[in-house]
Amino acid sequence: MHFGIFGVGDIAPDPATGIPRSEAQRIQDTIRVAKAADEFGLDVFAFGEHHNPPFVASAPPVLLAYVAAETKNILLSTSITLITTNDPVKIAEDYAFLQHVAKGRMDLMLGRGNTVPVYPWFGQDIRQGVPLALEHYNLLHKLWREDVVDWEGRFRTPLQGFTATPRPLDGIPPFVWHGAIRTPEIAEQAAYYGNGYFANHILAPNFHFKPLVDFYRQRFEHYGHGRAQDAIVGLGGQAFIAKKSQDAYDRFRPYFESYPMFQGTSLEQMVRNTPLSVGSPQEVIDKTLTFQEGFGDYQRQMWAIDIGSLPVDVALEQVELLATEVVPVLRKEMDARRAPGVPDAPTHASLVQAAYGDGETRQARPRPNSGDNTSGPLPYLDSDPERPANMPRVV
């Protein structure tokens, strides 16, 4: 079971001063939180992708590569990478590169994205969101598993004899989670490939997404990847923790009430009706254990702990309380309740072992100097006196 934290680099005005942090400060604060998560022994740090204010999360692979260099053990992921508006070739290369930089300490969560203006900013149409997500991932899956790719689809130019570089570390692509909260087609695709399915249910009513998780589990079994209960499921969450319950409510309330996402509801309503956990470590433990009861055994639990304008010192306190007071108890309790044979969350090491045992890992075999991987000789201007007679001209 993996336990970790995730965020999207959002910025909100401080409820006391009305002044938001700068983008520079938000980025540096995120790095501090990620390093603390590693130091306190959490399993995963994930960072999302947004391209519109008030977010600074436009380049997850850049931040995660830096965090990889500054940490020792924590697994790095995204929450999410936009499979619709990113070119799958660029995703394949960026995250394979990150996989090498992190020495295997990474995986990838993909999602459609629901911010309408972002699609045309990157030349796409939100009305094609589901077909884009399906086709782009089909290509990404192929790019990571075939050294030389010939491909033609609907939404991008064809590829001929193309090799994405670098090739995945040890010949093992990063493990992929498909994040979705409303789309059966995405759950179906995750099940078809035997990938993970992540339901970020932090703003929804309790267990609202159970039908989608159940559907994914059924289709995972249908495609022969194992029992339905063996399907690889992750869940989101949000928490604010203090030693005493009332202190947690008193300290978190100003940030909750000033944050636009929570307008129109009370803190008590959100805690009662959604997966938001506010209170003592035991209250957060008890709330999280209801997820296992409702969704079944699962492999990854993530919490948002630094949303909006929460000061970095408070976020660091949350990391420490989560890692030292909550997660150790959850590890013990959830393991004791887990049904026999349910697998752990995949890691690079476990995937390498499953593929090769104690044998040698696969070496890439791209076809050099062919197809899209060859630019040919550079053209010279017709007037260039250095142009050899046999070189092409620029017309």
Q: What is the pLDDT of residue 116?
A: 85
Q: Is residue 392 predicted with pLDDT exceeding 60?
A: no
Rounded Cα distance, 80 and 83, in Å: 9
Q: CB neighbours of 192 closer than 8 A, spacing ≥ 6? A: 219, 223
pLDDT recorded at residue 65: 98
Q: What is the pLDDT of residue 67?
A: 98
Q: What is the mean pLDDT of the segment spanning 3-14?
A: 93
Residues 6+ apart with CB under 8 A from 48: 6, 7, 8, 9, 57, 60, 78, 79, 80
For residue range 178-216, list pLDDT tens digits in order. 999 889 999 999 999 999 999 998 888 999 999 999 999
User: CA–CA separation, 354 vs 350, rounded Å?
Assistant: 6
Tell me the pairing of strands 276-279 and 238-241: parallel
pTM: 0.92
* pLDDT reported for residue 309: 78
**Mean per-residue pLDDT for 323-330?**
98
Domain positions in the chain: 2-367
Instruction: Return the amino acid letter for 318.
Output: Q
As a whole-number percent, the residues of the chain with pLDDT over 70 amount to 93
In this predicted structure, which of 121-125, 251-255, 303-307, 386-390 has the lowest mean pLDDT?
A: 386-390
In angstroms, the CA 229 to CA 207 distance is 17
- pLDDT at position 365 is 78
What are the start-end ranges of the E strands in the chain? Answer: 2-7, 44-47, 75-78, 81-82, 108-111, 149-151, 159-162, 176-179, 196-199, 233-235, 238-241, 276-279, 300-303, 380-381, 393-394
Per-residue model confidence as pLDDT tens digits over 46-82: 999 999 889 999 999 999 999 999 999 999 999 999 9
Query: Contact at 8 Å (CB) between 299 and 1?
Result: yes
What average pLDDT does the segment 354-368 reach? 82
Task: Give the domain 2-367 fold.
Answer: TIM Barrel (3.20.20)
> What's residue 395's pLDDT?
44
Whether pLDDT at 165 is above 80 = yes
The overall average pLDDT reported for the chain is 92
pLDDT of residue 372: 55
